[in-house]
Structure 1
Amino acid sequence: MVEIENLKFDANGLIPAIVIDSLTKQVLMLAYMNKESLKISKEKGLACFYSRSRQQLWLKGETSGNYLNLVNIKNDCDNDTLLISVQPEGPTCHTGTDTCWGETNNYNPILFLSELQDFINQRYHDMPEDSYTTSLFKKGINRIAQKVGEEALETVIEATAGTKDKLVYEASDMLYHLIVLLTNKGLRIENLAQELLERHTPNWDKKRRIAKSKNK
């Protein structure tokens, strides 16, 4: 969490706060905070702001029930703007929309692949007992590669003679084991995404997009 004493408040004792969903990274709203609202936010674990129009503190959701559960607060490089990560309960805007710009704040399941990769990496590091993933790592690369092949074959069978539901199930198994294989070789699923990006991106945009992805 940010240290209040390091922040640069304006002449009215306020600092702008950009609020984002910690899961989707969607920008939800822009508000202002003062020292007291920051302190309350930290203590309650709920985003509290200062209303410039009403000239008073404003605990988001106190009236509507649409609270913003605080995840993290970061300051920018100049210490004069905050980035507030939250988990929203319901719509953020008073008009009933997910964001104050009328955008829909949906979680894209594709983002879970990075979370799954991090989870498998942790399994590789910790090697907890009674874990299927641990057992795969202990059996070595040959067994892991064999499992990828087995799951790929089952995926092909479902694609040609099965149902869509079973195809999704088997393809998910194949992808999981592929991530385990990549992890064992010191790679991540993002390495595959990077390769596909380089293949797909037009030359005029390639250098910029690839450079940005490698700097993350």
Structure 2
Amino acid sequence: MRFDANGLMPVIIQDATTNEVLTLAYMNAASYQLTCETGEVWLWSRSRQSLWHKGATSGHTQRVVEMRLDCDQDALIVRVEPRGPACHTGARSCFFQPVFPPSAGSETVSAEAPGWPPDGAVPVSPASPITPPEVKLVPHSALELGVLLDELYELIRDRKAKRPEGAYTTYLFTAGLDKILKKVGEEAAETIIAAKNEQRLELAAEMADLLYHLLVLMAACDLTPDDVAEVLRSRAGKRRPLPE
């Protein structure tokens, strides 16, 4: 399987019975792994930078019947049995707006439509360490994890400054500090539960959720990962040397 430079692959979701195209979305290695393991569609939300269990909140999950790679191994068709509408607007398919031939009845649906943002989204770092057997990825060292967290933090700071519509991070900053603190508490509790249940895959996802929300809290309080790193350095007796 060939993921692009961002670690993503386009996915066409198709009704296995009618062959109707329901959605065009994206998977990364982690969402592909979860789809294979659970038998239900998991995706990667580019707008929210998060794993997305399709239909987890609405109940409109999609049971996987078959998956097929294209000839270049860089695109995937996922044939499913949908348990309800595929589109967040409530439409059966996301492709319901005719543009040719022109139709007077076609409408434009905003990202602010009911059901947005996508239900079941789980904010995590885009580069997940979870690797399916079919995909060979180089494991991340602690140093590489630090780089990934720095990149995610910069993305979060950009979201804080620009507040793009539909982004989950925008929602958190708009809701305010109390909401962010509540999410940190929830993710910490879910991490503990996953650890007690000895579910390795679930624990990795919950830890990623917690790290993401901690980075959002840092940005909300005008802290940086380097501020935290400096505390760790001091505790280890390794303060950063002063510049000459």
- Quickly name the TM-score band, shorter chain normalised: 0.3 to 0.5
Asked which structure has the greater RCO (Cα within 8 Å, sep 6+), the reply is 2
- TM-score of the aligned structures, taking structure 2 as reference length: 0.40
Rg comparison, structure with higher value: 1
> Structure 1 or 2: larger helix share?
1
